[in-house]
């Protein structure tokens, strides 16, 4: 059984809990420190299930909880405490996040400052969103099998329209003008495209076959200036990748949406800008069984100057419409936690968790959105128990 320790009840972080898989081998230096920020809405329901499951896997972790989110903002108007991001980068190996967004904060300022703050101020420029089908029954398309759907969307995470640059003039008049700027820097475009090629070269598909193709998605026929930069940089970076040879492909975002729905077989690695990545991965989540099934990592590939290796969050938001009802699917958050463990080098633990989620889907031990009858908590408990069983030595 994992050993639990709770300490501290300060304002931020709120508490610390250590999980040691095996007390006699776990050295203090091997323990990974995780900042856990459940956030708002269903984030507060799915993250406890993800924690339950990583605890069952015996991962050697020390968890520190942060209360950043709408409740805290409404109580004291603090979104991120001073030194908040610096502390995350300096003191933790990874961050596990739920979701942000609450109807009581219509401006969503806390969500912007916390989530976009982490992505931008910590320069987590690569948002890695795997799209995998665990069971054919989850895909709304006819005849699509798990082997047909195993691609990854690599979304630029720090630029585009998310900088909130622009303005509104003559507001409220018939002559009102709203301008929203789309920021694309050569450095930003080059590093995300390079990472997509690196990812393609070094990450196999689940069935063990190599990844072979990077598809760059834009709307360069309409957004000509930004599109031209993406097109030119894509060609330049592709030319550097002759060994192994990686195929290249380009699609406009509208055509890509249609193709994903008509026939998603054959996609491998897709690289795109911040907004198209956001939209495409909601569509792709639909192919996997819905938003409750999709996981993601926010990374700064290759950086070693900071302790923190990345921020991990399910693709879904806080989903206020279903929050507090114990019906949210926790599997996206659980698979996100598995991604985090894999990224921290705990591959065996990550694989146990993925196998348990797969079995839950096969046996329909799931929430109603994907065909089961369990609540959020029961679904998390089932997966945790399955992970615990897989820890036992076979007789």
| Residue 372 is a binding residue for ligand ATP (CB under 6 A) | no
Binding span for ligand ATP by CB under 6 A among 182-190, 205-213, 242-250, 285-293: 285-293
Question: Is 291 near ligand ATP (CB under 6 A)?
Answer: yes
Cβ atoms of residues 96 and 336 within 8 Å: yes
The reply on whether position 318 binds ligand ATP by CB under 6 A is yes
Question: Among residues 229, 233, 270, 322, which is the contact residue for ligand ATP, using CB under 6 A?
Answer: 322
Q: How far apart are CA 79 and CA 109, in angstroms?
A: 8
CA distance 271 to 192: 8
How many helices (H) and strands (E) in the chain? 12, 14
Q: Provide the β-strand partners of residue 271.
A: 154, 216
The nearest distance, CB 42 to ligand ATP, in angstroms, is 6
For position 64 contacting ligand ATP by CB under 6 A, the verdict is: no
- Write 102-108 long-range contacts (CB < 8 A, 24+): 102/40, 102/41, 102/69, 102/70, 102/318, 102/320, 103/320, 104/70, 104/74, 105/70, 105/73, 105/74
- Smallest gap from residue 44 Cβ to ligand ATP (A): 12
How many other CB atoms are found less than 10 A from the CB of residue 249? 16
282 as an active site residue: the answer is yes
Distance from C-alpha of 238 to C-alpha of 296, rounded to nearest angstrom: 25
For residue 91, indicate whether it is catalytic.
Answer: no
Those residues whose C-beta lies under 8 Å from the C-beta of residue 118, and which sit 6 or more positions away, are: 85, 88, 95, 97, 124, 298, 311
**Interaction between residue 43 and ligand ATP (CB under 6 A):** no
Among 188, 286, 289, 317, interactor with ligand ATP by CB under 6 A? 317
Concerning whether 278 is annotated as a catalytic residue, the answer is yes
When asked if residue 369 is in the footprint of ligand ATP (CB under 6 A), the reply is yes
In the set 316, 352, 365, 386, which binds ligand ATP (CB under 6 A)?
Answer: 316
In terms of CB distance, is 25 or 321 closer to ligand ATP? 321
Q: Could you give the count of Cα atoms lying within 13 Å of 200 in the half-sphere of its Cβ?
A: 29
Binding mask 324-343 for ligand ATP (x = CB under 6 A): ----xx--x-----------
Q: Active-site residues: which are they?
A: 162, 219, 254, 278, 282
- Which residues would be at the binding site for ligand ATP (CB under 6 A)? 42, 46, 101, 290-292, 316-319, 321-322, 328-329, 332, 369
């Amino acid at each position: 059984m994992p050993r639990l320790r709770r300490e501290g009840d300060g304002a931020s972080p709120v508490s610390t809990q250590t999980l040691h898989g095996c007390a006699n081998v776990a050295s203090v230096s091997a323990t990974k420190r995780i900042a856990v920020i459940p956030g708002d809405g269903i984030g507060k329901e799915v993250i406890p299930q993800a924690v339950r499951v990583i605890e069952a896997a015996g991962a050697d972790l020390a968890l520190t909880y942060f209360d950043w989110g709408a409740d805290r903002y409404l109580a004291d108007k603090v979104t991120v405490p001073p030194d908040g991001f610096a502390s995350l980068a300096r003191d933790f190996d990874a961050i596990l996040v739920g979701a942000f967004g609450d109807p009581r904060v219509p401006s969503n300022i806390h969500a912007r400052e916390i989530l976009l703050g982490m992505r931008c101020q910590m320069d987590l420029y690569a948002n890695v969103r795997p799209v995998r089908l665990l069971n054919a029954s989850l895909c709304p398309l006819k005849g699509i099998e798990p082997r047909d759907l195993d691609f990854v969307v690599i979304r630029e995470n720090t630029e585009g329209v998310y900088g909130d640059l622009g303005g509104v003039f003559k507001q409220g008049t018939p002559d009102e003008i709203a301008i929203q700027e789309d920021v694309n820097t050569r450095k930003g475009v080059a590093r995300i495209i390079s990472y997509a090629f690196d990812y393609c070269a070094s990450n196999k598909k689940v069935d063990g076959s190599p990844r072979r193709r990077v598809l760059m998605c834009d709307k360069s026929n309409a957004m000509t200036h930004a599109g031209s930069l993406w097109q030119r940089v894509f060609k330049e970076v592709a030319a550097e990748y002759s060994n192994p040879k990686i195929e290249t492909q380009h699609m406009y975002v509208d055509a890509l949406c249609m193709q994903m729905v008509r026939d998603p077989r054959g996609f491998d690695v897709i690289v795109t800008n911040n907004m198209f990545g956001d939209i495409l991965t909601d569509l792709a989540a639909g192919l996997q069984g819905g938003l409750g099934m999709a996981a993601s990592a926010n990374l700064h590939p290759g950086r070693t100057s900071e302790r923190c290796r990345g921020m991990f969050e399910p693709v879904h938001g806080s989903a206020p419409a279903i929050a507090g009802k114990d019906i949210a699917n926790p599997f996206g958050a659980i698979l996100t936690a598995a991604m985090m463990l894999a990224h921290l080098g705990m591959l065996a633990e990550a694989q146990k968790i993925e196998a348990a989620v797969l079995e839950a889907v096969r046996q329909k031990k799931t929430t109603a959105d994907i065909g089961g009858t369990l609540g959020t908590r029961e679904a998390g408990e089932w997966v945790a128990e399955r992970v615990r069983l897989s820890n036992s030595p076979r007789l």
